[in-house]
Amino acid sequence: MRYITTGIEKSVNFAAVKIIHFSVAPMKGKPYAALVLSMIFWSFSFVWFKIANRDYDPVAIVFIRLCIAIVFLSGFLWITGRFTPVKKGDRKYFLLLALFEPFFYFLGESFGLTYVSSTVGSVIISTIPVFAVIFAWVIYHERLKLINYAGVIISFIGVLIFITSGTGSITMNPRGLALMLLAVISAVGYNMMLHKLAYDYDPVTIVNIQNIIGAILFLPLFIFLDLKDLISTGFVAKSFGSIILLAIFASCGAFVLFAYSVRHVGIARANIFSNLIPVFTAIFAFLIVGDRLTVRNGVAMAVVIAGLFLSQAGKNRQTVIDTDFAGRSA
C-alpha cells in the first residue's frame, strides 16, 4: 500500500505493522479541474439515464454502456501502447473494485432512478462523503473533529428536507431510497479499493479493467432479464444516443478523471467534489428533462452541500495501520 503525501510524515515500524501519521495538503491545478469536469459528467449521467430508460431497461442500459466504454478505452490503450499488466496480488482488488462499481453501484443507481427523480437521486448520491467518514470511523477508527460530526448531521438533515414534504411525510418511494443507498455504500467500497490501486496503475487501465469485469458480471443478468425486450424494442435513436453519451462521458471520462484526481489529492479530498453533483444535476434536469426545481429543493441542496463541506473540513490527518510493510524498513 502506498501513500502520496505533501505534508510531514512520521512513521514507526513495529515488525509487521507500520503506523503512518500524515496530512494531505491542498493541491493545485489539473487535479481540481479534472474533479469539477468529472462531476459535471456524472451530473449529466442522471439525465441521460432518464432519457434512455424511456425505451430500454436498466440492465440493458448499463451493459451496453460498459461495452461501448470498453471499446473506447481499449482502443485508446492500444493506440497509445499503455496497456499495463495486472500484478497477481492485485487481481482480488480489481475484482472487488468492479463488484462495488460498476456492478452493485449501477444496480442500485439504475433501478433506484426508476423510482426517484434525477435531482433526488443525485442528492442521495452526494452523501457518499458522509458515509465514507462513517465507514472510516467504524473500520479504521479514524478520529474526527467536532466540525466533521456536525457536517454529517447537517447533511442528513438536508437530505431529509429534500425527500419530505412540508408536513414531514416521505414523498419518495422507499424502494428507490433503499436502492440509491445501495449505490452509496457500493461507492464507498469502490473508493477503498481505488485507493489501493490508484498509485500503481494508469487511470485509464484501472477504469478499463473495472468495465471489463463489470460487463462480464452484468452479462447473465442482461441475457435473462433484458435481451428479449431489447430485441423487441429495437433501435431508438434518442435513447441509444443517451447510452453512448453515458459510455463516453460517464463510464470513460468521469471515472478516468476521478481516478487521476485520487492519485494526486487522495480519496477524502476528491470525494468532497461530489457535493457539486446535486447542483449541476438539478439545473440540467430542470433544463433538459423538465424535473421540478422548487425553493424547498434549493434550500435542501444548500444544507446538504454545506454539511458535506463541514464533514470534510480541515486537513485530513489519519492513522493508518498497514500490514503490507512487514519486515521492511521505512
177 with 268, same domain: the answer is yes
139 with 11, same domain: the answer is no
Closest C-alpha among 275, 299, 278, 312 to residue 151: 312
Q: From CA 250, how far away is CA 233, in angstroms rounded?
A: 24
- Which pLDDT value is given to residue 34? 92
* Contact call for residues 97 and 253 (beta carbons, < 8 A): no
Q: From CA 206, how far away is CA 217, in angstroms rounded?
A: 17
pLDDT in tens, 134-169: 776 676 565 667 787 787 788 778 777 766 655 544
Residue whose C-alpha cell is 489529492: 265
Selected residue with higher pLDDT from 10 and 138 = 138
Q: Going by DSSP bridges, is the β-strand pair 10-14/17-24 parallel, antiparallel, or unpaired?
A: antiparallel
Number of domains in the chain: 2
Selected residue with higher pLDDT from 13 and 131 = 131
pLDDT in tens, 277-292: 777 777 777 787 677 7
Per-residue pLDDT band at 79 (split at 50, 70, 90): very high
80 with 179, same domain: the answer is yes
6-20, 49-63, 104-118: least confidently modelled range: 6-20
Which segment, 3-12, 80-89, 163-172, is predicted with the most confidence on average?
Answer: 80-89
300 with 286, same domain: the answer is yes
Coil vs helix vs strand at 198: coil
Domain residue limits at 236: 26-314
55-69, 215-229, 262-276: least confidently modelled range: 262-276
Check pLDDT > 50 for residue 8: no
125 with 40, same domain: the answer is yes
- Which pLDDT value is given to residue 314? 63
Residue whose C-alpha cell is 452509496: 184
Report, as an integer, the average pLDDT of 215-220: 97
219 with 156, same domain: the answer is yes
* Contact call for residues 108 and 182 (beta carbons, < 8 A): yes
Q: From CA 134, how far away is CA 141, in angstroms rounded?
A: 10
5 with 68, same domain: the answer is no
DSSP-assigned letter for residue 266:
-
Report, as an integer, the average pLDDT of 256-270: 83
123 with 196, same domain: the answer is yes
40 with 186, same domain: the answer is yes
Check pLDDT > 90 for residue 74: yes
Tell me the Cα Rg of the chain: 20
Closest C-alpha among 143, 91, 134, 94 to residue 320: 143
Report, as an integer, the average pLDDT of 104-116: 86
Give DSSP secondary structure letters for 87-111.
Answer: PGGGHHHHHHHHIIIIIIHHHHHHH
| Distance set, CA 262 to CA 14, 27, 100, 141, 195 (Å) | 28, 11, 17, 22, 7
2 with 72, same domain: the answer is no
Strand partners, 21: 10, 319
Selected residue with higher pLDDT from 19 and 120 = 120
Strand partners, 12: 19
10 with 90, same domain: the answer is no
Check pLDDT > 90 for residue 5: no
| Distance set, CA 29 to CA 32, 149, 198, 204 (Å) | 6, 29, 19, 20
211 with 69, same domain: the answer is yes
Check pLDDT > 70 for residue 241: yes
- Which pLDDT value is given to residue 171? 59
Selected residue with higher pLDDT from 123 and 222 = 222
Check pLDDT > 70 for residue 325: no
- Which pLDDT value is given to residue 283? 76
- Which pLDDT value is given to residue 156? 77
